Amino acid sequence: MKTTEDKILLSHGNGGRIMHELISDFFVKHFGNRILEQQGDSAILPVYAAALAAGPHSGSAGNNKQAARGKSGLPEIAFTTDSFVIDPIFFPGGDIGKLAVCGTVNDLSVSGAVPLYLSASFIIEEGFPMKDLETIVRSMASEAKKAGVLIVTGDTKVVNKGKCDKLFINTSGIGMIDNASRLDKKISSIKPGDLIIINGALGEHGMAVMNARESFNFKTPLKSDCACLNYLIRDVLDNSSSVKFMRDPTRGGVATVMNELAGMIHLGIELSEPDLPVGKGVMAMCELLGFDPLYIANEGKVVMVASEKEGSRIVEVMKKNKLGKQSAIIGRVVKDHPGKVVLNTETGGKRILASLSGDPLPRIC
Amino acid sequence: MKYIDEYRKKDLILGIADEIRKISKKEIALMEVCGGHTMAIHRFGLHSFLPPTVSLLSGPGCPVCVSGQHFIDTAIAYCRQAGVILTTYGDLIRVPGSSSSLEKERAAGQDIRIVYSVLESLEIARKNPGSKVVFLGIGFETTAPLTAAAIAEASKLKLRNFHVLSAHKVMPPVMKALVKDGMKINGFIAPGHVTAITGTGIYKDLPEIFGLGVVVSGFEPVDMMQSILMLVRQLEAGKPGVEIQYQRVVQQQGNVKARKLLDTVFELKDDYWRGLGMIPLSGLKIRSEFSEFDIEKILPVDVAMAPEPKGCICGMILRGLKKPSDCKLFAGRCTPSDPVGACMVSGEGTCATYYKYRE
């Protein structure tokens, strides 16, 4: 066991290595099962075709046989959950409700599933303004409609003032996934030469929220990139079968996702700094505060690995979607330095991109 | 981005590197004494552009690292006092003290808030008249004037619940102490933002008495390469002097207004530097006229000096005598996610920088 602390620290929730140690030392250890151990953005659940077919209305033996034959061809279920505790609950480009829908839709989408149904649970602090709640719920409804998902169940709890900070939301989601789209099975086919692709600029969510929360008073039009990516991802999967991995680089940013991937495939990854799309606002804030956009959270981005020959075509497909206008190939899988991510810097140097450890904090001199 | 892109141009860097290679004959060691420079050297891989005759050493340029455990232990003692709100720059939150850290204290329920500017602490003090708001003042001449400004402002506003625990230090005495200590260096890449406040007068002795070259440098790769070239030129010609490379920010006379503010609020005191010991007149303490803002005067706490963590060679690293890779704890027992020494936890610490950008 690597977790050495006797109390939960904020670092345990930041998406970096310390959080992953907590997950493996506690949750995977005690809940451990074959499905949880997939450790993907969504759990892929088997649908027991034979059991369904053998139910009271299943009909003849012939049907049974058909169902059994169809077992591998039957869609499976992708299932995921996420809690949202963002502060502030309203920020440029979105609010906690929009984020709660997009986050779960995206977690399903990056596993290759078509998102269908969401649950929404609210933990609300006593005294929370009704008007704000309605704004948030409307925003959830509008985002769900845009993404083509239904919010079909939910829960409401109110706690005493001071026992939670305004409003927390949990959403869970169910999607359907067919065998051809199952990305978890393709990860082992990743090989040197494969390309790393992203659908746009880095770090917009993290920096927009930070600017709204802290008292920097930077006057910037910077907005969160918070968006549902299911249609963009579907466009890609319908047009190419060469995508082998997808992840939404939220907490910990692109660098952390790339480190997780490098660890899983035992190959190296090289990113090219001149090819990274970074907006002026994010770049300026990062320079001022000493952050690296590669470690800043995104909420409307997907990082993909695809075969070398399909890379540019996938970028073209993504560019046709309004959420993919700035799509770019940002790196590749390499044989060298297995398990490590290396950045080829704009000045011609190389440096290692480690996993995020601890909150990214600004410099003081 | 303006003022950034121009200073990161690959062709320019390669051009300067060629020039350095061409003229560099003597073996020289240059020391940078600012964490920002250490970061830039590693972030942009500048070592790889230099000939074997030029070696770079990292000095005590990270304020968090040189202040060390005792400061953190004292801060922890304050945050445990009833009615205290501790405000700090984020860098300090995970620095290990002898038995705890501010991060752990926060998890245990102490009121510790991260601020990005000392002015936020003033605001917190204004909003919480019933609490003592303690700001952890740390840093060199770059951050100290801001703390001074906050104290002056608090005095003007009669904000009597705002206090500072000062670990502010000044740079010139330690640079001389290193040389007197027998450090084998030929020149300093001098800190750009410190000098923007102090002016270049503070370096006068270094070429005159110690024969060292001094170039005040900016923080982008082209700045640093140009500064190294300027130092190589001085040393090859046998004419060490004080030059400013970072002319877009630094003026010879420095920032007179900021220095006046510093002098109004602070006075020099002998101060302890991790790895270097006591250095005369190297720290800043709050003048008695402003003692109501000095938490050590208002609410004295007695915190024992704890021994340095076993096996940690931060002290040697801060003096440029050892590299992080010489430490047995480096990258094994001591990592940024579970640091032993301060040089690993501060984002600008030499060990953290080496760890982050290690080959």
Give the mean model confidence (pLDDT) for residues A5-11: 83
CB-CB: which of B14, B120, B194 is closest to A215? B120
Give the mean model confidence (pLDDT) for residues B226-230: 98
**In this predicted structure, what is the pLDDT of residue B299?**
95
Q: Is residue A175 domain-shared with residue A191, that is, in the same domain?
A: no
Count of Cβ atoms closer than 10 Å to residue B94 Cβ? 25
Q: pLDDT digit string (tens) for A72-89?
A: 566 789 999 999 999 999
Q: Is residue B149 domain-shared with residue B192, that is, in the same domain?
A: no
Q: Is residue B128 domain-shared with residue B158, that is, in the same domain?
A: yes
Report whether pLDDT(B72) > 80.
yes
**A328-334 and A195-198 strand pairing:** antiparallel
Cross-strand bridge partners of residue A281: none
Interface test with B, best of A256, A363, A364 (most B CBs within 10 A): A364
Give the mean model confidence (pLDDT) for residues A22-40: 88
Q: Is residue B153 domain-shared with residue B86, that is, in the same domain?
A: yes
Judging contacts by C-beta atoms under 8 Å, the chain A residues touching residue B8 are 346-347
Is residue B310, in this structure, part of any structural domain at all?
no
Is residue B249, in this structure, part of any structural domain at all?
no
Judging contacts by C-beta atoms under 8 Å, the chain A residues touching residue B43 are 345, 351
Return the closest-CA partner of residue B56 out of B228, B312, B273.
B228
**A341-344 and B187-191 strand pairing:** unpaired
Report whether pLDDT(A362) > 50.
no
- The CATH number covering residue A50 comes to 3.30.1330.10
Domain end call among A145, A163, A181? A181
**In this predicted structure, what is the pLDDT of residue A365?**
40
Q: What distances in angstroms separate CA A13 from CA A83, A94, A189, A252, A308, one per listed residue?
A: 12, 22, 31, 10, 35
Q: Is residue A200 domain-shared with residue A171, that is, in the same domain?
A: no
Q: Is residue A202 domain-shared with residue A125, that is, in the same domain?
A: no
B332 lies in which domain range? 316-356
Nearest CA in chain B to A215: B120
Q: Is residue A192 domain-shared with residue A325, that is, in the same domain?
A: yes
Q: Is residue A84 domain-shared with residue A213, that is, in the same domain?
A: no
Q: Is residue A171 domain-shared with residue A219, that is, in the same domain?
A: no
CB A262 within 8 A of CB A166: no
Report whether pLDDT(A364) > 50.
no
Q: Is residue B106 domain-shared with residue B16, that is, in the same domain?
A: no
B195 Cα to chain A: minimum distance (Å): 12
Cross-strand bridge partners of residue A122: A156, A169
Q: How far apart are CA A88 and CA B158, in angstroms?
A: 32
Joined tokens for residue A41: 């953005």
CB B188 within 8 A of CB B244: no
Contact B107 A8 (CB under 8 A): yes
Residues of chain A above pLDDT 70, percent: 88
Residue A48: band (very low, low, confident or very high) from pLDDT cuts 50, 70, 90: low
Count of the separate structural domains present in chain B? 3
CB-CB: which of A215, A352, A363 is closest to B348? A363
Contact B45 A346 (CB under 8 A): no
CB-CB: which of B44, B120, B143 is closest to A349? B44
Count of the separate structural domains present in chain A? 2
Contact A346 B348 (CB under 8 A): no
Q: How far apart are CA A14 and CA A358, in angstroms?
A: 7
Is residue B216, in this structure, part of any structural domain at all?
yes
Q: Is residue B161 domain-shared with residue B234, that is, in the same domain?
A: no
Nearest CA in chain B to A340: B359
Q: How far apart are CA B306 and CA B96, in angstroms?
A: 12
CB-CB: which of B45, B90, B123 is closest to A362? B90
- Write out the residues of chain A at the interface with chain B, using a CB-CB cutoff of 8 A: 4-5, 7-11, 16-18, 214-216, 280, 283-284, 287, 289-290, 345-352, 354, 357-359, 361-365
A69 lies in which domain range? 33-181
Q: pLDDT digit string (tens) for B335-344?
A: 877 788 878 8
CB B285 within 8 A of CB B258: no
pTM for the full predicted model: 0.81
Contact A283 B1 (CB under 8 A): yes
Report whether pLDDT(A66) > 90.
no
Residues of chain B above pLDDT 90, percent: 66
Residue contacts between A and B (CB atoms, under 8 Å) = 109
**In this predicted structure, what is the pLDDT of residue B123?**
95
- DSSP string across A14-28: SSSHHHHHHIIIIII
Is residue B304, in this structure, part of any structural domain at all?
no
**In this predicted structure, what is the pLDDT of residue A314?**
97
Q: Is residue B89 domain-shared with residue B160, that is, in the same domain?
A: yes
A252 Cα to chain B: minimum distance (Å): 14
Q: What distances in angstroms separate CA A249 from CA A168, A209, A359, B104, one per listed residue?
A: 22, 16, 16, 28
**In this predicted structure, what is the pLDDT of residue A16?**
67
Domain end call among A146, A181, A216? A181
Report whether pLDDT(B19) > 70.
yes
Q: Is residue B182 domain-shared with residue B154, that is, in the same domain?
A: no
Is residue B89, in this structure, part of any structural domain at all?
yes
Q: pLDDT digit string (tens) for B121-163?
A: 999 999 999 999 999 999 999 999 999 999 999 999 999 999 9
A75 Cα to chain B: minimum distance (Å): 42
Is residue A11, in this structure, part of any structural domain at all?
no
CB-CB: which of A18, A214, A290 is closest to B337? A18
Angle between helix A130-147 and helix A96-110 axes, rounded to 10 deg: 30
State whether the Cα torsion B311-B277-B63-B101 is positive or negative: positive
Contact A363 B355 (CB under 8 A): no
Give the mean model confidence (pLDDT) for residues A40-46: 85
- The CATH number covering residue A216 comes to 3.90.650.10
Contact A287 B139 (CB under 8 A): no
Task: State chain B's mean pLDDT as an integer.
Answer: 91
Q: How far apart are CA B328 and CA A325, in angstroms?
A: 49
Is residue A17, in this structure, part of any structural domain at all?
no
Q: Is residue A92 domain-shared with residue A227, that is, in the same domain?
A: no
Contact A283 B357 (CB under 8 A): no
Domain end call among A135, A161, A181? A181
Contact B108 A347 (CB under 8 A): no
Contact B1 A287 (CB under 8 A): yes
- DSSP string across B306-328: PPPPTT--HHHHHTTSS-GGG-T
Report whether pLDDT(A333) > 90.
yes
Q: Is residue A202 domain-shared with residue A341, that is, in the same domain?
A: yes
- The CATH number covering residue B272 comes to 3.40.50.11740
